[in-house]
Structure 1
Amino acid sequence: MDLVVGRVAKTHGVRGELVVDVRTDEPDERFAVGRVLRGRKSTGKNTFVENNYTVTAARNHSGRLLLTLAEVTDRDTATEMRGTLFLIDSADVSSGDDPDEFYDHELQGAAVRTVSGEEVGVLTDVVHMPGGDLLSVKAADGRDILIPFVAAIVPTVGRDLIEIDPPDGLLDPE
């Protein structure tokens, strides 16, 4: 299974520098100079193209990562990179023994229930959106439910059980 460690948000400057939204706790390691990144870009309906990219420079600029890749040398090529996801194999990472730390893939399959004990379904994915993260839950009736992954709604997170305190209407069928 692939894990996303970064996403190209936009270009910066005219020499092909990329603004990357970081999705890892280890950006210095994942985006180190000389590191080869596996990039995946959507080309349409369920089709993707994958390429490898070598990091030649990485720096922090106003709280965002600016990345220079050997294969991206101008603004036009950088513009084509927008939306590219940088991936690693989940087998290469472990969150360790701390029960309060986990990776998205370690939560998949966890039971989801309300704080009052009502079964909601099973977590199928954690979806990272520009406005925030969402839990994708497969309900017992087959519906897919998206739940904002914020402390006010998701007070308890564990590898086997996620408890939610949903506002009125969040779990109601359309």
Structure 2
Amino acid sequence: MQLVVARIGRAHGVKGEVTVEVRTDEPELRLGPGAVLATDPAATGPLTIESGRVHSGRLLLRFEGVGDRNAAEALRNTLLIAEVDPEEQPEDPDEYYDHQLMDLDVVLADGTEIGRITEISHLPSQDLFIVERPDGSEVMIPFVQEIVTEIDLEEQRAVIDPPRGLLDDGEAEVASSRDAAEDES
């Protein structure tokens, strides 16, 4: 299985380094020296990582055969793709690879269908599930334990307990009635 692990940004300096936008939770595993990555567009790769370092909070990589700023700049916006064994699991049982979460059905605890995960957005503060609803609209669900209460890979579903107003007005009424019932108990 192929997994997009980074996107190349602008060139850094004059010796062929590039900034990268990391799209993996395990950059030390996927983006280490010696890693060979496919690319999109394919014409630019594969690329082998020669070295990497963090500078001012950004990951910088240098690839074999890319020795100057012009060659580095030519790689801008290229996606880096790693080959991942589909059976591979993260070490922490509460962590998941994006490919494990893609296409999961999103439901409320009572089984009410919300939609299907079509994308995962990795933001600095938290990850977001982009969920396509049955009507074709999208909703963003923060991937935090308070909201995503269960991931069941065998059943291919993510159970959520959304706060009032997260989904839409109709769901807000469901949430407010649930909150009222909790207040009474």
Q: Same fold (TM over 0.5)?
A: yes
2:162 to 143, 165, 169: 165
Equivalent-residue separation in structure 1 for 2:32 and 2:166 (angstroms): 45
Shift of 1:166: 5.6
Partner of 1:76, secondary structure, is helix
**Residue 139 of structure 1: aligned partner:** 133
**Residue 44 of structure 1: aligned partner:** none
What is the CA RMSD across the aligned residues, in angstroms?
A: 3.2
Equivalent-residue separation in structure 2 for 1:110 and 1:146 (angstroms): 14
2:101 to 94, 99, 107: 107
Deviates more, 1:97-106 or 1:15-24: 97-106
Equivalent-residue separation in structure 2 for 1:29 and 1:116 (angstroms): 38
- The answer to whether residue 77 in structure 2 is matched with residue 78 in structure 1 is no
User: What are the superposed Cα offsets for residues 90-122 of structure 1, whole Å, 9 maximum, x if unpaired?
Assistant: 326622585411111111232213467542112
Q: 1:118 to 1:90 in 2, by over 3 A?
A: same
Q: 1:132 to 1:19 in 2, by over 3 A?
A: farther
Structure having the higher strand fraction is 1
* Stretches of structure 1 lacking an aligned partner (at least 5 in a row): 42-47
Identity %: 36
Deviates more, 1:126-135 or 1:1-10: 126-135
Shift of 1:163: 1.0
Q: 1:152 to 1:16 in 2, by over 3 A?
A: same
Shift of 1:56: 1.6
**Residue 149 of structure 1: aligned partner:** 142
Partner of 1:91, secondary structure, is coil
Partner of 1:105, secondary structure, is helix
Deviates more, 1:94-103 or 1:83-92: 94-103
Residues 148 and 158, structure 2, Cα contact 8 Å, conserved in 1: no
Residues 10 and 18, structure 1, Cα contact 8 Å, conserved in 2: yes
Equivalent-residue separation in structure 2 for 1:135 and 1:154 (angstroms): 11
Residues 31 and 49, structure 2, Cα contact 8 Å, conserved in 1: yes
Aligned ranges 1:39-58 → 2 under 5 Å: 39-41=39-41, 49=43, 51-58=45-52
Q: 1:140 to 1:125 in 2, by over 3 A?
A: same
Q: TM-score, normalised by structure 1?
A: 0.74
Partner of 2:76, secondary structure, is coil
Residues 7 and 20, structure 2, Cα contact 8 Å, conserved in 1: yes
Shift of 1:152: 8.6
Structure with the bigger RCO (C-alpha within 8 Å, sep 6+) is 1
Q: TM-score, normalised by structure 2?
A: 0.70
Q: 1:88 to 1:154 in 2, by over 3 A?
A: farther
